[in-house]
Amino acid sequence: MLTKDSLILLVSSEKESALISASEALSMLLGKGYKVALSQVLAKNLRKSDFIIQGQQPDLIVVFGGDGTILKTFTQWKESPILGVNCGRVGFLTEIIPQKLDWAINKILNDEFIIEEFSTVAVSSESYPPISAVNDITIVPKNHGNIMRLKVEINNKLFYVIEGDGVIVSTSAGSSAYARSAGGPLIMPNVEAFCLVPICPFIVNVSPIVFSTDTVVTVTNEAKFRTGIVVVDGQAHYTLGYNENVKIYKSGEKIRFIRFSDNYIKRVRNKLLERIR
């Protein structure tokens, strides 16, 4: 539960609208007597170096921006719940607009909220240590336009060999992002599952599959003269050469969001489905 002695960390994208909202939030929270710290990037943009967080673990992180800003924030602070303030376009992982922050803080103070928790997914190889993703792990060609040949095994059993633009392994949180655009299903937050989605497969009867989070997926590059790239939450991390493989599995880390309603279906309808009308 949040109290006046709790530490609230403000994080923001560098968009002007997000910075303005974060600055207004800082003034509002300080005026009400809250303990507030700023991420290094936000403190620099607001010229408030005295407020830079100094290694403490915040009790609440308020993120101004969109889903990308939330993903970056999680890489630095993995233990604290996140309240997303939408200063972008869709902001599926966000919960409120900037004008509702005061209302939201009061709700949290009164313990009138719920925690929505998602498992994250990790990828590793013989050459690279595990890296966690909130949304997805993607294997795509290093050179855009090339076709990859990828062998996909599930719990050491061959599932298929795909020729196409790559594969996505998505969490339930990420099922509303790239995986959905590639034809994958939405996975509700209370379902402990991941999803494997082929990207533009040459053979069209290769389909997505939903599997439990205790599954291990192995992806091997079988394209002799083509190098793959392992992409973690939209950021390229390392290459995947011929006959090299990665293992993708449930991470020990979880991301937690502050929610004021557990109506996931309404969120999907408002933020995803009704935008296409």
Binding-site positions read 67-68, 72, 135-136, 165, 173, 176-181, 235
To the query of whether residue 5 is one of the catalytic residues in this protein, the response is no
Q: What's the CA gap between 273 and 85, in Å, rounded?
A: 20
Q: From the annotation, which residues make up the binding site for NAD(+)?
A: 67-68, 72, 135-136, 165, 173, 176-181, 235
Q: What's the CA gap between 174 and 182, in Å, rounded?
A: 12
The helices-and-strands tally (H runs, E runs) of the chain is 6, 16
Name every residue whose Cβ is closer than 8 Å to that of residue 171 and which is 6 or more positions away in sequence: 118, 119, 120, 121, 133, 134, 135, 136, 187, 194
Pairing, β 245-259 against β 157-164: unpaired
Name every residue whose Cβ is closer than 8 Å to that of residue 157 and which is 6 or more positions away in sequence: none
CB-side neighbour CA atoms (13 Å) of 144: 0
Q: What's the angle, vertex CA 120, arms to CA 63 and CA 40, rounded to 5?
A: 30
Name every residue whose Cβ is closer than 8 Å to that of residue 197 and which is 6 or more positions away in sequence: 167, 168, 169, 170, 179, 182, 183, 184, 208
3-state secondary structure of 182: coil
Query: From the candidates 5, 50, 59, 67, which is the catalytic residue?
Result: 67
Active site residues: 67
